[in-house]
């Protein structure tokens, strides 16, 4: 597994709950923002997972890159401490693809 130059070429909001990411290896994956929120890797969410009612309403407000290795998503529920590494996002996309 190579760590070199995993990067995002393009990121777009397909609709209110779907993000698209095109990776440096030209693979494209779609991400459900509710899934991303549910899988938030921050310590707070690791300790206590967000409730399902909240997840139904959740939308990203802003998405910013953190260095060249991660994305930070500011959600409309006020949560913005989740840092999603490219590696995490890429793996997630690949898993979802396998599951169809």
What is the per-residue binding string for Zn ion in 34-73, x denoting contact by CB under 5 A? ------x-x--x----------------------------
Cα–Cα nearest to 35, from 11, 53, 18? 18
Find the binder of Zn ion among 60, 82, 89, 93 (CB under 5 A). Answer: 82
Give the sign of the dihedral formed by CA 48, CA 85, CA 13, CA 75: positive
Binding-site size, Zn ion (CB under 5 A)? 4
Q: What is the DSSP letter of 39?
A: T
Instruction: Tell me which residues touch Zn ion (CB under 5 A).
Output: 40, 42, 45, 82
């Amino acid at each position: 597994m190579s760590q070199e130059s995993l990067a995002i070429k393009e990121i777009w909001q397909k609709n209110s709950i779907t993000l698209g990411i095109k990776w440096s290896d030209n693979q494209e994956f779609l991400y459900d923002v509710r899934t991303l929120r549910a899988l938030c890797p921050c310590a707070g969410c690791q300790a206590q997972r967000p409730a399902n009612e909240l997840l139904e309403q959740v939308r990203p407000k802003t998405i910013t890159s953190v260095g060249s290795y991660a994305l930070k998503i500011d959600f409309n529920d006020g949560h913005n401490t989740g840092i999603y590494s490219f590696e995490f996002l890429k793996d997630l996309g690949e898993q979802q693809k396998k599951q169809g």
